[in-house]
Chains A and B, each alone.
Chain A
Amino acid sequence: MSTPDTPLWEVFIRARQGLHHRHVGSVHAPDTTLALQAARDVYTRRGEGVSIWVVPANAITASDPVDKDMLFEPASDKIYRHPTFYDIPDDVGHM
């Protein structure tokens, strides 16, 4: 439960060098130090990560679902924006 003393934090974990941090879930904690420790204890128990970010959930500004069509529909018929028409050399690795 989120209380004034233990706000919600969103957790982002980088699985290994070269990848970016991905959102994995959230934890409750009173401050940044314990939020990082809680994220470590809850989300890296099976060797999932090499780096953790925690972000106060209330610091995230989210798009409104009502605006879905206005924001995202215009992109749906513009396939030429996808980089699928190029061959990526194997040596490039993760993009």
Chain B
Amino acid sequence: MASALFNSLVAWADDQLVLGHRLSEWTGKAHVLEEELALANMGLDLIGQARNLYQYAAEVENAGRSEDDLAYLRSERDYRNLLMLERPNTDFAHTMLRQFYYAAFMQRYWQALTGSRDERLAAIAAKAVVELQYHRRHSAEWVIRLGDGTEESAARMTDAVNTLHRYTGEMFDTSADLRALIDDGIATDPHTLRTEWEADVRSVFDRATIAWPEEEPPTQRGGRDGIHTEFLGLLLAEMQSLHRAHPGQTW
């Protein structure tokens, strides 16, 4: 059970860290100062959640590894994040749609985990849920405005849907480790949230005048098994370079 808990904590932490890093890449590049800070704020929320999860995972593992070891000294094949979250930012429409797809799911998943039998996990979830509620609200407003905006913004949002929609199914998958936690009353089956998630996304798409993909493309998956797209290796190379060049360095 300890290894199932460790593996699931690391997978969730990898999600938050990889997406948080992607958002941090917007620093200095957003179209207005207001949105630059909004993106950085969301990124910092996620990195904070990643730290809480890695710290707990390190304690559960009890093998002398720290949160930094888990974040900076594991390679691509050891990462367990969802494929959608490692995708490049591409443009503001892609970034906001990815944030919306993920936050619309994750705010509900954290909400469910606040009822976990594991008190530490429930506490981490309780802190994260309000942060993700804001991410969902902020990104949904942008999906609506870009989808129902100019010809250019609508084309970019449609392009983002065509690119990212196939990655959403992986959010609802259940690994063997997660299944063990579900059976033990520690975690929630993400699949139980799919109907609610889809209704939420569809209602935002309606307001955005964006079409739900009629023929849903086959789900792209593999992140939970360490099988990643070519984008994660580059992300980790940049994110981990400082720590690998100066091991044990502190602020």
Which A residues are closer than 8 A to B by beta carbons? Answer: 6, 27-30, 33-34, 37-38, 40-42, 45
Task: Give the secondary structure class of B's interface.
Answer: helix
Q: Does B41 contact A (CB under 8 A)?
A: yes
Q: Does B177 contact A (CB under 8 A)?
A: no
Residue of A27, A28, A30, A37 touching B138 (CB-CB under 8 A): A37
B37 near A42 (CB under 8 angstroms)?
yes
B138 near A42 (CB under 8 angstroms)?
no
Q: Does B34 contact A (CB under 8 A)?
A: yes
Q: Does B170 contact A (CB under 8 A)?
A: no
Residue of A6, A28, A33, A41 touching B38 (CB-CB under 8 A): A41
With contact pairs A6-B32, A28-B32 given, residues A38 and B141 touching in the complex (Cβ less than 8 Å): no
Supply 20 further A-B pairs (C-beta < 8 A) apart from A34-B145, A41-B34, A45-B41.
Answer: A6-B32, A27-B34, A28-B32, A29-B34, A30-B145, A33-B141, A34-B141, A37-B38, A37-B137, A37-B138, A37-B141, A38-B35, A38-B38, A40-B134, A41-B37, A41-B38, A41-B41, A42-B33, A42-B34, A42-B37
**Residues of chain A within 8 A of B38, CB atoms compared:** 37-38, 41
Q: What band does the interface of chain B fall in when counting residues whose beta carbon is under 8 Å from A? A: 10 to 19
Residue of B nearest to A43 (CB): B37
B34 near A45 (CB under 8 angstroms)?
no
**Residues of chain A within 8 A of B37, CB atoms compared:** 41-42, 45
Q: What separation, in Å, do the CA atoms of A42 and B35 have in the docked complex?
A: 9
Q: What separation, in Å, do the CA atoms of A28 and B41 have in the docked complex?
A: 18
Q: What separation, in Å, do the CA atoms of A45 and B39 have in the docked complex?
A: 12
Q: What separation, in Å, do the CA atoms of A27 and B35 have in the docked complex?
A: 10
- B160 to chain A minimum Cβ distance, whole angstroms, is 19
Q: What separation, in Å, do the CA atoms of A40 and B135 have in the docked complex?
A: 12
**Residues of chain B within 8 A of A29, CB atoms compared:** 34
22 A-B pairs within 8 Å (CB atoms) are namely A27-B34, A28-B32, A28-B34, A29-B34, A30-B145, A33-B141, A34-B141, A34-B145, A37-B137, A37-B138, A37-B141, A38-B35, A40-B134, A41-B34, A41-B37, A41-B38, A41-B41, A42-B33, A42-B34, A42-B37, A45-B37, A45-B41
